[in-house]
Amino acid sequence: MIGRKASTLGLGILLAVAACGGGNTASNSPSTSQNIGGSVTLWAEWSSSEQQAFKAALVPFTTSTGVTVNYTSKGSTISTALGSAIQGGAPPDVALVPDPGTVQTLAKQGSIKDLTSIVGSLSANYGDAWNQLVTANGKLYGVWFKGANKNTIWYNPAEFAAAGITTPPTTWEQVISDAATLKASGIAPFSLCTDIGWPVADFWQNIYLKTAGAASYNSLSTHATKWTDPTVTSAFTTFGQLVGDPSNLLGGLNGSLSNSYPTCVDKVFPKTGAQPKAAMVFEGDFVANEVKANSATYAPGTTGNGGAACSIDPAKTPCYNFFDFPAPAANAANQGAVQGAGDVAIMLKDTPQSEALVKYLAGPTGASIWATAGGFTSPNKTVPTSAYPDPVTQKDALALVNATSFVFSLDDLQGTWEPMMWQDMLNFLKTPSNVSAIQATMDTQATAGLGH
């Protein structure tokens, strides 16, 4: 879920940037200079610091149009709240929802407006992989504002250097090889996040995407492909190459099964006064917020503050970085596929104010403001790379923009059986040799949960 880890934001900086309109003069920014006045109701899931960040990103819109944005946070219940509001005849004008499944469902119901002619050429601000997620019957029903990249394995550069690893792995086979090198140097390769199972599902889903490809991934997400399929078996087998050897995991299996989020991150990027216990941790790009919260001395990339070499000691010159989740060498064609999440704007009432807001959200200005403050990435290609505050965030954003295919986090599309899927993944960790029984259980659960 995109909201599993809230952003830590420099709101003073963000508000100052917003007051200046973000300084973005991109030629394809939508024209919102006409003062049309009035108001627009807007729902999204963001609360607390993220709500403040989003409101700051909307300042130039209100300034240029005179439109008052009446924002309401609906938290993680926004999809349910929208359904109730639509049924009751009182939906908001515009909403941002955290999954394309909601967009597709509402489009089929005729509850949201076709944005094709409203957005027009602004749809080119997104790659085909993104637009396809919110297209139904050849019509565009959403524009993406915020993205999340779950194609990220985070590593401590100082630990890699101490083990003699000069470059991060680019294939799955190299991940396994580097794990052996790290163990030989005296550091656990992975701090495996397990929590209640969602981080394990995220990990496995990346493996499935990189071994089976995006088309199979999307087919599995709807249960058109069965969980007993050989592609699923192959992904579990590949995952087992890592987790089937407890020495690859900090604390072994028992230690991993009690590794909640964000504690699992802290074991690779500890707070001042502690030392790292593992070299790598897998999770989405929200990991960076936890790292930076642990110590202000952490520098993004492979060079510490002041150009010093990265240090293992978080009180000195520690660093953090990530590498893209690698495909096995035999599946290199899937390397550009990215798993993630995002928030997409939809229009429920067609008014001049709602049209203007959707166009604004499809342009680069608002996203650039939030990007400058940090804790935010966008799949919008017209958001300048320079808007992102550091090279790691820039690399993260480029991965979203340049994805050859983008798939939505599969567990978040499973409806009522999602928690069962998480438990199944934990059960696999406990008994990796029992794959066929686990697959059969998952297929039965998927059939019951999805109705087919």
| Separation between Cα atoms, residue 286 and residue 4, nearest integer Å | 8
Angle (CA) 443-328-100 rounded to 5° is 50
Sign of CA dihedral 41, 407, 219, 447: negative
Which helix or strand (DSSP H or E) is residue 43 part of?
strand 39-44
* Beta-bridge partner residues of 8: none
What is the 8-class DSSP label of residue 325? P
For the chain, the domains span: 2-149+340-408, 152-334
CATH number of 2-149+340-408: 3.40.190.10
Short-list 241, 223, 230, 232, CA closest to 205: 232
Which helix or strand (DSSP H or E) is residue 95 part of?
strand 94-97
Sign of CA dihedral 151, 339, 7, 76: negative
* Beta-bridge partner residues of 337: 405
Q: What is the pLDDT of residue 33?
A: 57
Short-list 149, 126, 133, CA closest to 339: 149
**Do the beta carbons of residue 30 and residue 385 sit within 8 Å?**
no
Short-list 356, 402, 357, CA closest to 378: 402
Q: In whole angstroms, how far apart are CA 376 and each of 199, 266, 366? A: 20, 21, 11
So what's the architecture of 152-334 in CATH?
3-Layer(aba) Sandwich (3.40)
97: left (phi over 0), alpha (psi -120 to 50) or beta: beta
**Do the beta carbons of residue 196 and residue 348 sit within 8 Å?**
no
| Separation between Cα atoms, residue 116 and residue 142, nearest integer Å | 9
Q: What is the pLDDT of residue 4?
A: 43
Q: What is the pLDDT of residue 27?
A: 38
Locus of tokens 């939505």: 408
The whole-model pTM stands at 0.89
Q: What is the pLDDT of residue 247?
A: 98
| Separation between Cα atoms, residue 404 and residue 21, nearest integer Å | 32
Which parts of the chain sit beneath pLDDT 70? Answer: 1-33
* Beta-bridge partner residues of 61: none
Locus of tokens 């965030």: 393
Whether 152-334 and 2-149+340-408 are alike in CATH topology: the answer is yes
**Do the beta carbons of residue 55 and residue 93 sit within 8 Å?**
no
Q: What is the pLDDT of residue 264?
A: 98
Tokens encoding 314: 């978080």
* Beta-bridge partner residues of 324: 152
Q: What is the pLDDT of residue 374?
A: 86
Locus of tokens 């991934």: 217
| Separation between Cα atoms, residue 357 and residue 92, nearest integer Å | 13
Sign of CA dihedral 265, 268, 274, 277: positive
